[in-house]
Each structure stands twice: as C-alpha cells, then as structure tokens.
Amino acid sequence: MTELVCRACGEHFTPKSQFEQDCVECGSDEVEAVDAYDPEEHELRCEWCRFEIDTTIRPDEGWDPSNTPRSVDDPCPLCGGALVPAGSRTDVRALPESKMARGAARKLHRDHSLPGPPYVLKGLAERLGLTVQIENFDHDGMLVGRTIEIPKQVSLPVQRFVLAHEIGHFVLRHDGERDKVEPEANALASELLIPRDELLQRIKSTPSIRALSRTFGVSRQAMAYAVMTAGALGSVRP
C-alpha cells in the first residue's frame, strides 16, 4: 500500500485497504500519496493552522458567507493567517507534526492537573520556569528566552491562546521554519485549552460554537479550529 499524508493534520499512515482512505488520526479525507500531489488552484491552505478550503464549494448553512475566502488575498477564516494554493509542493518532512504536539498537550494535562475549563495556564507557565508579561507590546505574542510577552491590547480569549501557543513553542523546543513550528504550536495550544475528548463530550449537550467558546474561554475562531480538528464540524451550529 502507498504511504499517505493528511493535509489537515500532517499524519503519515498506510491504509489497510484501498477502501479505507480517511486519516487515521483526525478522520479527514484530505489525504494524498506522500510522493505525489494533484494540485487544484481553487483549493487554498492556511500557512499557519493548515486549514484548507475549496473556494468552489458553497459554505455550510449558518456560516457568514462574507467570511468565506475566495482567493489568496483573503485571510484564513479560522485564524486570520495567510492563504496559499493547497497544491503548492511541500517537502513532506517539513509538514507540522500535529499529532505529536497534541500528545505533548495531553501530557501537560496529566502531569499538572490543570484546573478548568476554562483552563488556567499562568501557573503552568510558572511551573515550567517561564515568566508571563502582559504589556503594550507591538507584536502578537513572543517567547523571549524564558519570558512570554503577551499584548494586553487584545481580548482575554486571545491572550489565553497566545499564552498556550508560546508554551507550545517552549515545550516543543521549537527552532525551525515557521511553516512547521507555528502549526505545531497552534495544535498544542488548541489541545491544551480545548482537550479533544472533553470537547467531544460537551458537544453532545452543547452543540454551539458560541457556547463552547464561553465554556473554554477561547475565541470562536479557536473553537472552530478545535471542532474542525476533532472532525465534528457537522455536529455543531455557530
């Protein structure tokens, strides 16, 4: 069998049969052979969170059509990152290892018994030997040595995601290309703030992205990313 790679989460796997082609990690059907690409220019991919969208498909009912990208000039509807053609050739070895990043987040939960939701991460940062500074920084968030700099001019949910994201860079010992390390930090941050197993349980009683965002203390964009990664977009409403 040909080895496949998932565009959605970066997982590599070999299907058990020709009839089982969905990703074994996230369930996405956006998979392709490791050594072969069949690019289509109407497919766009976010450089940051790796979300993909087909511009020829009508948006799901209930979603704001004005927020639907139509070209690389539009931002990612989930994280606001830059879009590129999904068919752009990428070295498979440079793809983000999202499964590894989410596993690191689950280990942090096991090792530190984080209170929540919403999960409080400042104490975790301190236990990891990090200092958190929230000031009027002119950047979106940065790990400088062992100090996490967070801009105070952004909303609290965004500050929380920035903190989780920078903890991700520290825990994963990132030092490489942005196209690889940023999606990994996003994956860790998402799992740290919105654990997948807990999210899937809560969706059963609260199938609303708005309500789930309040429960976990994150932005609607961050919640949409988590729901998408969990393969549950069809089970929730805006």
Across the range 102-110, mean pLDDT stands at 93
C-alpha pair distances (Å), 190 with each of 23, 87, 97, 156, 160? 19, 26, 14, 15, 11
User: Do 65 and 24 lie in a common domain?
Assistant: no
Rounded distance between C-alpha atoms, residue 156 and residue 59, angstroms: 29
**CATH code for the domain in which residue 175 is found:** 1.10.10.2910
**pLDDT above 90 covers what percent of the chain?**
45
pTM > 0.75: yes or no: no
User: Do 104 and 173 lie in a common domain?
Assistant: yes
Tens of pLDDT along 23-48?
A: 877 777 777 776 554 444 567 777 66
The model's confidence at residue 93, banded by pLDDT at 50, 70 and 90, is very low
User: Do 79 and 134 lie in a common domain?
Assistant: no
Tens of pLDDT along 170-187?
A: 999 887 667 778 888 999
User: Do 137 and 220 lie in a common domain?
Assistant: yes
On whether the CB atoms of residues 192 and 219 are closer than 8 A, the answer is no
Q: How far apart are the first and last CA of the chain?
A: 39
At which of 27, 57, 89 does a domain end? 89
- Count of domains in the chain? 3
User: Do 106 and 208 lie in a common domain?
Assistant: yes
> SS in 3 state form for 109-144?
HHHHCCCCCCCCCHHHHHHCCCEEEEECCCCCCEEE
User: Do 119 and 227 lie in a common domain?
Assistant: yes
User: Do 69 and 16 lie in a common domain?
Assistant: no
Across the range 97-119, mean pLDDT stands at 91
On whether the CB atoms of residues 25 and 102 are closer than 8 A, the answer is no
Question: Between 89 and 169, whose confidence is greater?
Answer: 169
Tens of pLDDT along 50-70?
A: 677 776 655 444 445 555 666
Across the range 200-211, mean pLDDT stands at 94
User: Do 27 and 123 lie in a common domain?
Assistant: no
Tell me the residue range of the domain where 21 lies.
1-36
User: Do 139 and 162 lie in a common domain?
Assistant: yes
User: Do 121 and 206 lie in a common domain?
Assistant: yes
